[in-house]
């Protein structure tokens, strides 16, 4: 072999070793397990939960491998542990290749001496943040649920568990159908009467907003604006005026991808799966000519709205639920509710914490299997809003048509199947989710990356997931199943 080939071979070997060792690192850390005792202990202290130490031998101890595969790596166990434990894996491989550096091996030996004197493998020790041993298990062929209930029985009396189990706050939850969607309002407080009042007031607030912005309710101001298109300006409440003003800003920002005057075309499409053929392209062209946010004329002095073209129409389908969620939250926080959620048909705004003091988790639905989540986000004072093509759509000639219309063509937008926007404001998140859906993956992502404090998760029709630059997917745990 000549010198050059030898060199290439060496480089390849090096790369292989690097890849194998990277893989080993990934395996030991990716499943939510710590490998460093001090870090794990600090985390247990911070979260006020016990620390579970798994003494294992990954390359020689069959029961250790069984314990990991049949219990620790299951969704049920991960879900339980994500809220209730900090996990530490102390591996004692016999194969030199798999062993960590000497100092680390020494540290593990010392911990084994301290907690696993008998030298049994696998051995699982539960300790509290003061390093007091709370219990111990080994491996038996049992279900993950049985294992969890065994752990729970060992942890009875653990003071943080007790504190969690009897919170001094309680959670109230109500669901309603409003704006054609399912709303859920959650309030947490010591005072249940106050929490109930907050939910009731939030509910009334959403009813009020629906009456203001509905485009089919003949008594609404929006209905007046639409019926007077091309005829005269309509005087409206300042609230509606400002909402339209903000919607037009998003239109400008998106160069018309978002446009509340999309509604001129809404009669041509039905997204309840009853549509069997595409609308006549002549009508589509005719209606699309009426869509133009620049023809929504606002007069600040008189607070009037005028649609320039006859046949023009506005609708708040893409921003109304987000606006309602913001307003409902404000009603509740003004009453002093420090922890809560308003879920407006999947447009979620969450603030404070869950009743057990842990952060809210919001799931991002898998567009093809909605009972499953592709990921979870931990949120506080944040809105998470998803526009998807999976709720309202029609299948025509085997193709899927979603309810989000590209104002430039009059046809439903294609390419993306789910857009999630994460930002503190639910109305903006709602409007931007629709906007990015229309703009498509590349332009939409570029827009979000330009905006501070706004992030997105995009899923295209091939199932690829893309996130904005600042979204740290490390804090997303796709294995949890709880909201």
**Residue ranges binding Mg ion (CB under 5 A):** 318, 430, 433-434
Interface with ligand ADP (CB under 6 A), residue from 122, 144, 315, 363: 315
Q: Decide if residue 444 touches ligand ADP (CB under 6 A).
A: no
Which one among 433, 439, 445, 447 touches ligand ADP, defined by CB under 6 A? 433
Stretch in the footprint of ligand ADP (CB under 6 A) among 39-47, 330-338, 404-412, 467-475 = 404-412
Q: Is 403 in the site for ligand ADP (CB under 6 A)?
A: yes
Of the candidates 404, 417, 426, 432, which one interacts with ligand ADP according to CB under 6 A?
Answer: 404
Instruction: Dig out the tokens for 88 from the structure.
Output: 């530490």
Q: Are 207 and 320 in contact (CB under 8 A)?
A: no
Residues in 344-383 that interact with ligand ADP by CB under 6 A: 345, 347
CB of residue 442 vs ligand ADP: minimum separation in angstroms? 18
Residues of this chain, 246-285, that bind ligand ADP according to CB under 6 A: 258-260, 262
> What are the backbone dihedrals phi and psi of residue 78, each rounded to the nearest 5 degrees, phi first?
-60, -40
CB of 153 to ligand ADP, least distance (A): 44
Partner interacting with residue 407 (select from Mg ion, ligand ADP, none; CB below 5-8 Å by kind): ligand ADP
- Decide if residue 306 touches ligand ADP (CB under 6 A): no
189 touches, from Mg ion, ligand ADP, none (C-beta below 5 to 8 Å by class)? none
- Residue among 330 and 408 whose Cβ is closer to ligand ADP: 408
C-beta of 337 vs 429, nearer to Mg ion: 429
Nearer to Mg ion by C-beta: 53 or 405? 405
Binding span for ligand ADP by CB under 6 A among 150-158, 167-175, 302-310, 397-405 = 397-405
Give the residue with the Cβ less far from Mg ion, 127 or 405. Answer: 405
**430 belongs to the binding site for ligand ADP (CB under 6 A):** yes
Which range touches ligand ADP (CB under 6 A), out of 33-41, 282-290, 312-320, 355-363? 312-320
Whichever of 198 and 423 has its CB closer to ligand ADP, that residue is 423
C-beta closer to ligand ADP: residue 315 or 440: 315
**In the block, residue with structure tokens 């104002």:** 407
Residues that bind ligand ADP (CB under 6 A): 258-260, 262, 315, 317-318, 321, 345, 347, 387, 391, 403-405, 407, 430, 433-434, 438
């Amino acid at each position: 072999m000549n010198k050059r080939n030898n060199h290439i071979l060496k480089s390849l070997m090096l790369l292989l070793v690097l890849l194998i060792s990277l893989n080993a690192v990934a395996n030991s850390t990716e499943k939510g397990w710590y490998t460093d005792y001090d870090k794990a202990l600090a985390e247990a202290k911070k979260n006020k939960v016990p620390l579970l130490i798994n003494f294992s031998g990954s390359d020689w101890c069959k029961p250790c491998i069984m314990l990991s595969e049949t219990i620790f790596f299951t969704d049920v166990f991960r879900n339980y542990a994500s809220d209730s434990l900090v996990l530490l894996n102390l591996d004692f491989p016999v194969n030199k290749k798999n062993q960590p550096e000497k100092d680390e091996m020494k540290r593990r030996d010392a911990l084994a001496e301290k907690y696993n004197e008998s030298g049994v493998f696998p051995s699982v020790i539960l300790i509290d943040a003061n390093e007091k041993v709370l219990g111990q298990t080994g491996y038996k062929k049992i279900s993950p649920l049985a294992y969890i209930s065994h752990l729970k029985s060992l942890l009875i009396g653990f003071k943080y568990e007790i504190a969690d189990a009897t919170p001094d706050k309680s959670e109230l939850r109500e669901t309603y159908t409003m704006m054609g969607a399912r709303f859920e309002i959650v309030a947490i407080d010591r005072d249940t009467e106050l929490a109930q009042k907050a939910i009731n007031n939030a509910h009334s607030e959403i009813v009020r907003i629906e009456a203001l912005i509905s485009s089919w309710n003949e008594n609404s101001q929006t209905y007046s604006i639409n019926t007077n298109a091309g005829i005269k300006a309509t005087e409206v409440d300042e609230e509606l005026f400002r909402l339209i003003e903000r919607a037009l800003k998003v239109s400008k920002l998106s160069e018309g991808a978002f446009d509340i005057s999309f509604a001129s075309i809404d009669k041509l499409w039905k997204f309840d799966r009853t549509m069997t053929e595409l609308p006549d392209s002549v009508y589509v062209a005719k209606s699309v000519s009426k869509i133009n946010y620049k023809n929504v004329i606002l007069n600040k002095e008189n607070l009037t709205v005028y649609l320039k073209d006859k046949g023009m129409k506005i609708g708040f389908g893409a921003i109304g639920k987000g606006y309602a969620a913001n307003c409902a939250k404000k009603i509740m926080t003004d009453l002093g509710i420090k922890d809560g959620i308003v879920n407006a048909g999947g447009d979620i705004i969450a603030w404070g914490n869950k009743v057990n003091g842990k952060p809210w988790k919001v799931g991002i639905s898998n567009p093809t299997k909605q009972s499953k989540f592709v990921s979870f986000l931990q949120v506080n004072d944040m809105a998470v809003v998803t526009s998807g093509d999976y709720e309202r759509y029609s299948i025509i000639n085997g193709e899927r048509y979603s309810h989000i219309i590209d104002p430039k063509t009059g046809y439903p937008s294609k390419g993306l199947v789910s857009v999630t926007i994460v930002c503190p404001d639910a109305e903006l998140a709602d409007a931007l989710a629709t906007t990015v859906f229309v703009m498509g993956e590349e332009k939409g992502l570029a827009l979000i990356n330009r905006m501070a404090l706004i992030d997105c998760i995009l899923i295209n029709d091939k199932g690829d997931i893309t996130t904005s630059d600042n979204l740290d997917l490390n804090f997303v745990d796709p294995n949890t199943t709880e909201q």
